[in-house]
Structure 1
């Protein structure tokens, strides 16, 4: 019984010490680098036409599985969403309209 109390109190003290160590130091470099970015973006008029370049940054390679039943990767789902259109759509009053003819 005494050994259980000893291990319990030792674990509690180690947990408290780790919590204090983790919260003790602050990183001021992150706050300084965040101030370098502008707070507002420039508002310009929209252009008609053109090309939109889209990129996804990921640590894992792109598998290229474009079947929603087989795709288990979020990167594949993000890329697949642009070409995976439905047959039907609804308008603001929830009336079904045909998308593909």
Structure 2
């Protein structure tokens, strides 16, 4: 009987302590909110320069796997990095017919059943 009274009183005291802590004054500091207002909300518009190099970074908490094959890639990071070198060899028009605007072209001779390729870089 004494053990149940002790456990009951410990439970009541614990519940009261948790209730007081939960309803207490918040101790979070809002100093970061004041610092966030210092950043500009818009980017200034400048004249476009010809040539140059564009560098960008992509932040991630997982390691870069480096799988550049679309069928095998499972992460968005790989897809984002590979998009700049992922162009098709032949360019097509709106009807999906190959034209001579891509990095490689070819000449088709239907009578001789031959294809002559011309790679343009």
- The TM tier, using the shorter chain, reads 0.5 to 0.7
Count residues in correspondence: 76
Give the greater-gyration-radius structure (CA).
2
1:58 equivalent among 33, 57, 60: 60
Residue matched to 1:88: 91
Root-mean-square deviation (CA, aligned residues, Å) is: 2.6
Distance 2:83 2:43 in 1: 28
1:100 has 2:103 as partner? yes
State which drifts further: 40-49 or 71-80.
Answer: 40-49
Deviation of 1:29 after TM superposition, in Å, equals 4.2
Note the 1:17-36 alignment, pairs <5 A.
28-36=30-38
Q: Which has the higher strand share?
A: 2
Distance 1:70 1:41 in 2: 37
Deviation of 1:81 after TM superposition, in Å, equals 0.6
Residue matched to 1:9: none
Provide Cα deviations, 1:31-90, integer angstroms capped at 9, x if missing partner.
423311113322210111111112111101111111000000111011111111123344
Residue matched to 1:40: 42
The TM-score normalised by the length of structure 1 is 0.59
